[in-house]
């Protein structure tokens, strides 16, 4: 009986600690718990109870911050998208050649997907059951594609747009493979992907014209 009493009493201690936290701190705990749950279980399999338990808060506290699981995921989707676009924009400001910009874009994506496993989940498909979440995930991929097109350079027309789409789709596929082979160094993943993609992408960009900053290296 004493063991059961201890087991029943144990969850109240972290909950008591959470009650002493300020609102922003509790909100961050909720977000961290949701990220972990969505990565490990997938959006469709997670409940608000799961997130509350991971965060060590009562369900009413969770609902104080987010009215639904959908609202929580949409917030995280927006956050991940803004972070990724900021990384891409930083690289796009470089005056390097198209090939160097493409390498940089691959490095941005692979680094980001390693650092932000929820983003990897989103890129591979956030939800099969919630159309709002699925649409937001698709919008994230589309914004990433547009950012990548800008990163490849100011010329290229349709070829540049298609190249960006191929690059993003390839990154998703390679990242999925890399997750199954984490022993492979990131540099090797980037180099191999670039060798496979650049001949076609480079030819496509050249056929649409070369940027004056490329120095003929596009």
Q: How confident is the model at residue 217 (pLDDT cuts 50, 70, 90)?
A: very low
Residue reference for tokens 């201690």: 13
Q: What's the pTM value of the predicted model, to 2 decimals?
A: 0.71
Question: Cα–Cα distance between 7 and 163 in angstroms, integer?
Answer: 57
Burial 183-200 (b: 16+ CB within 10 A, else e): eeeeeebbeebbeebbee
Question: Cα–Cα distance between 200 and 163 in angstroms, integer?
Answer: 8
Instruction: Please provide the average confidence, as pLDDT, over all residues in the chain.
Output: 79
Q: Tokens for 130?
A: 């919630």
pLDDT in the model for residue 95: 61
Question: Cα–Cα distance between 14 and 10 in angstroms, integer?
Answer: 8
Question: Cα–Cα distance between 102 and 108 in angstroms, integer?
Answer: 10
Q: What is the pLDDT of residues 60-107, one digit of tens each?
A: 989 999 999 999 999 998 888 888 888 877 776 666 777 888 888 888
Which of 122-126, 158-162, 169-173, 182-186 is predicted with the least confidence, judged by mean pLDDT?
122-126
Domains of the chain from N-terminus onward: 2-67 (1.10.10.60), 70-207 (1.10.357.10)
Percent pLDDT > 90 in the chain is 24
Q: Would you say residue 170 has pLDDT above 80? A: yes
Q: How confident is the model at residue 3 (pLDDT cuts 50, 70, 90)?
A: very low
Long-range contacts of 35-40 (CB under 8 A, 24+ apart): 35/76, 35/117, 35/118, 38/73, 38/76, 38/118, 38/121, 39/117, 39/118, 39/121
Which of 12-16, 17-21, 81-85, 179-183 is predicted with the least confidence, judged by mean pLDDT?
12-16
Angle at 168 (CA atoms; ends 188, 194), nearest 5 degrees:
30
Alpha-carbon distances of 101 from 30, 38, 123, 154, 206, rounded to whole Å: 37, 32, 21, 12, 14
Mean pLDDT for 107-122 is 85
Q: How confident is the model at residue 117 (pLDDT cuts 50, 70, 90)?
A: confident
Q: How confident is the model at residue 156 (pLDDT cuts 50, 70, 90)?
A: low
Q: Would you say residue 155 has pLDDT above 70? A: no
179 membership: H or E segment, kind and range: helix 157-180
pLDDT in the model for residue 11: 43
pLDDT in the model for residue 4: 43
Alpha-carbon distances of 170 from 57, 89, 103, 128, 212, rounded to whole Å: 40, 20, 13, 21, 28
Mean pLDDT for 183-191 is 94
Q: Would you say residue 111 has pLDDT above 80? A: yes
Mean pLDDT for 141-149 is 85
User: Taking Cα atoms as reference points, which of 130, 164, 120 lies closest to residue 45?
Assistant: 130
Q: How confident is the model at residue 49 (pLDDT cuts 50, 70, 90)?
A: very high
Residue reference for tokens 């680094």: 111
pLDDT in the model for residue 181: 92
């Amino acid at each position: 009986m004493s063991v059961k009493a201890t087991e029943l009493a144990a969850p109240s201690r972290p909950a008591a600690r959470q009650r002493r936290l300020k609102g922003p701190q509790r909100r961050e705990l909720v977000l961290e718990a949701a990220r972990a749950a969505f990565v490990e279980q997938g959006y469709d399999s997670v409940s608000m109870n799961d997130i509350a338990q991971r965060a060590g808060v009562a369900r009413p506290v969770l609902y104080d911050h987010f009215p639904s699981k959908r609202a929580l995921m949409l917030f995280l989707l927006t956050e991940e998208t803004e972070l990724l676009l900021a990384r891409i924009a930083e690289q796009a400001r470089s005056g390097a050649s198209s090939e160097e910009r493409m390498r940089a874009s691959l490095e941005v994506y692979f680094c980001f997907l390693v650092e932000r496993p929820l983003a990897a989940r989103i890129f591979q498909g956030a939800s099969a059951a919630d159309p709002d979440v699925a649409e937001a995930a698709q919008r994230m991929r589309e914004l990433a594609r547009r950012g990548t097109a800008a990163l490849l350079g100011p010329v290229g027309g349709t070829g540049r747009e298609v190249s960006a789409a191929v690059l993003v789709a390839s990154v998703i596929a390679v990242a999925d493979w890399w997750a199954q082979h984490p022993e492979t160094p990131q540099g090797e993943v980037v180099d191999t992907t670039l060798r496979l993609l650049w001949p076609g992408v480079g030819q496509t960009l050249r056929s649409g014209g070369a940027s004056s900053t490329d120095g003929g290296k596009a």
